[in-house]
């Protein structure tokens, strides 16, 4: 009986690994950064450009990228966060739910300023609730929500850059 369970577990694990490999699952490694983008640097402008560029830089470091002065440049422009009230308490008139939206544009250029990936727009939305019972938590909550928004924006930018056929093609 033990032998049969062991064999069954082996086939189950093998099947799961095969399914994960087939759906594109991969561990975070530098292997997903194409050779044309090795050493990519990140620069940001706008009120939230620095925070977004730092989030992209962190994600790239997790992928094994070390920015070089002679590497390509991921330029993030006009990055800002807008906030809109989407829910108000009918009894007190206090805002209860907000929608934060991250706006930015980005492009990738090589060292000679030749465009590898033309300008693309980024729009990331995230809603959060306000707890009127604990007003002191709002600043900390806002910081956490903004960090989450920047991390989501960074992952979206990298997904679009790294999967773009324009940057995956070898340059002559």
CATH number at residue 83: 3.30.160.150
Of the candidates 106, 115, 125, the residue with the CA atom closest to the CA atom of residue 44? 106
- Classify burial at 154, counting beta carbons within 10 Å of its beta carbon; exposed 0-12, middle 13-18, buried 19 or more: buried
**Token pair for 28:** 């975070």
Residue 125: pLDDT band (50, 70, 90) is very high
Q: Is residue 16 part of a domain?
A: no
Q: What is the pLDDT of residue 152?
A: 95
Chain position carrying tokens 């995956």 = 168
> Given this model, what pLDDT does residue 98 score?
84
The whole-number pLDDT of residue 135 equals: 56
Residue 60 domain-assigned (yes or no): yes
Residues 6+ apart with CB under 8 A from 26: 32
Confidence of residue 47 (pLDDT cuts 50, 70, 90): very high
Average pLDDT, the chain: 82
Residue 51 domain flag: yes
Q: Is residue 23 part of a domain?
A: no
Report the distance separating Cα 99 and Cα 85, nearest Å: 6
* Percentage of the chain modeled with pLDDT above 70: 78
Task: Count how many domains the chain has.
Answer: 1
| 124, pLDDT greater than 50 | yes
| Cα–chain center distance at 74 | 13
Instruction: Give a yes or no: residue 11 inside a domain.
Output: no
Q: What is the pLDDT of residue 23?
A: 56
Average of pLDDT values for 29-49?
A: 82
Q: What is the torsion angle, in degrees rounded to the nearest 10, for the CA atoms of residue 51, residue 53, residue 58 and residue 59?
A: 120
Domain that holds residue 88: 37-165
Top-confidence residue, 30 or 155: 155
Q: Quote the pLDDT of residue 65.
A: 85
């Amino acid at each position: 009986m033990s032998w049969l369970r062991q064999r069954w577990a082996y086939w189950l694990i093998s099947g799961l690994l095969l399914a994960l490999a087939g759906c594109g699952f991969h561990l975070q490694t530098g292997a997903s950064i194409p050779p044309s983008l090795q050493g990519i640097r990140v620069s940001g402008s706008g009120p939230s450009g620095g925070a977004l560029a730092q989030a992209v830089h962190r994600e790239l470091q997790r992928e094994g990228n070390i920015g070089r002065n002679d590497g390509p440049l991921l330029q993030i422009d006009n990055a800002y966060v807008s906030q809109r009230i989407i829910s108000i308490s009918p009894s007190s008139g206090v805002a209860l739910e907000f929608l934060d939206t991250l706006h930015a544009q980005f492009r990738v250029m090589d060292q000679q300023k030749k465009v590898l990936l033309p300008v693309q727009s980024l729009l990331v939305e995230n809603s959060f609730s306000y707890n009127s019972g604990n007003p002191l938590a709002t600043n900390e909550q806002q910081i956490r929500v903004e960090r989450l928004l920047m991390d989501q924006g960074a992952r979206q930018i990298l997904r679009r850059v790294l999967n773009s056929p324009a940057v995956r093609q070898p340059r002559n």
